[in-house]
């Protein structure tokens, strides 16, 4: 579904992403892992076009998307979350979620701020995620884990084909983390393709079908979790045994 070809992002002499190539198969959960500074989030930013790549190509199915603006990429079916929740201040969870709805044209600007259909769709998503009880809470008052679920709900409002999750487990307590893992797995069971950046190796080993390992901006290994888990170069040089501890 997604193909990254020779992706590069340079900041002066710093090569944050350097000739990075990998694929994400339709209907799978693919993890992009590596040490801090490996270039994972920068690659995410280039794929979603929140950052312009220096070179390389990104393809969604049979269409090249890296020259497109972010809203056009979202319209084609690519949606993402960020490490830090970007909820809008002084707005409820429901309002924050609906803000992510697709805008089909200028006529939408003449409609009410939240249409009946949008409210029903948002509430269905919040129900699926088990957080309808906080629908009318101020988004800034949520716990870190609740904000992660709100971000996931907002992402789903655009009816994506593939979702890019940037550290969904970061700062989340263990019980809520299990909820997030369950929901990601259920979304994948429904046919949604997932690309995930995450440092929690236990989550990666449990959830992903394929693991892509980056360091210093380059892909240095790829394969099934159990294969990557046994790769000496990955264990010794880049992850310091973290994968072994997750087994």
Assign residue 222 the CATH number of its domain.
Answer: 3.40.50.300
Question: Residue 182's domain spans which residues?
Answer: 2-246
Question: Contact at 8 Å (CB) between 168 and 180?
Answer: yes
Residue 2 to residues 24, 61, 195: CA-CA distances in angstroms? 5, 6, 9
Question: Contact at 8 Å (CB) between 114 and 98?
Answer: yes
Each residue's pLDDT tens digit in the chain (247 positions)? 999 999 999 999 899 999 999 999 999 999 999 888 889 999 999 999 999 999 999 999 989 999 999 889 998 999 999 887 777 767 899 988 988 665 554 445 445 567 788 899 999 999 999 999 999 988 888 888 888 899 999 999 989 999 999 988 877 888 888 888 999 999 999 999 999 998 888 888 889 999 999 988 999 999 999 888 888 878 765 555 455 444 4
Give the pLDDT score at 105.
45
Question: Contact at 8 Å (CB) between 32 and 194?
Answer: no
Q: What is the pTM of this model?
A: 0.87
- How many structural domains is the chain composed of? 1
Start-end of H helices in the chain: 40-48, 70-76, 93-98, 116-128, 144-156, 174-189, 201-207, 225-229, 232, 242-246
Start-end of H helices in 8-167: 40-48, 70-76, 93-98, 116-128, 144-156
């Amino acid at each position: 579904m997604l193909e990254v070809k020779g992706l590069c992002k340079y900041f002066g002499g710093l090569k944050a992403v350097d000739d990075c190539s990998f694929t994400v198969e339709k209907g799978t959960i693919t993890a992009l892992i590596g040490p801090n500074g490996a270039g994972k989030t920068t690659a995410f930013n280039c794929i979603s076009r929140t950052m312009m790549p220096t070179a390389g190509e990104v393809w969604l199915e049979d269409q090249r998307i890296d020259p497109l603006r972010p809203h056009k990429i979202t319209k084609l079916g690519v949606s993402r979350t960020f490490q830090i929740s970007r909820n809008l201040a002084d707005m409820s969870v429901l309002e924050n979620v609906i803000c992510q709805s697709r805008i089909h044209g200028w006529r939408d600007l003449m409609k009410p701020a939240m249409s009946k259909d949008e409210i029903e769709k948002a509430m269905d998503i919040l129900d699926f995620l088990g957080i309808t009880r906080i629908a009318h809470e101020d988004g800034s008052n949520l716990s870190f884990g609740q904000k992660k679920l709100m971000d996931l709900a907002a992402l789903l409002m655009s009816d994506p084909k593939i979702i890019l999750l940037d550290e969904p487990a970061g700062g989340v307590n263990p019980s809520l983390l299990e909820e997030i893992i369950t929901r990601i797995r259920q979304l994948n069971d429904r046919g949604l393709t997932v690309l995930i950046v995450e440092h929690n190796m236990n989550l990666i080993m449990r959830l992903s079908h394929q693991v892509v390992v980056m360091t210093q901006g380059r892909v240095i290994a790829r394969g099934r979790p159990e294969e990557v888990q046994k790769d000496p170069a990955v264990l010794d040089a880049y992850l310091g045994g973290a994968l072994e501890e997750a087994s």
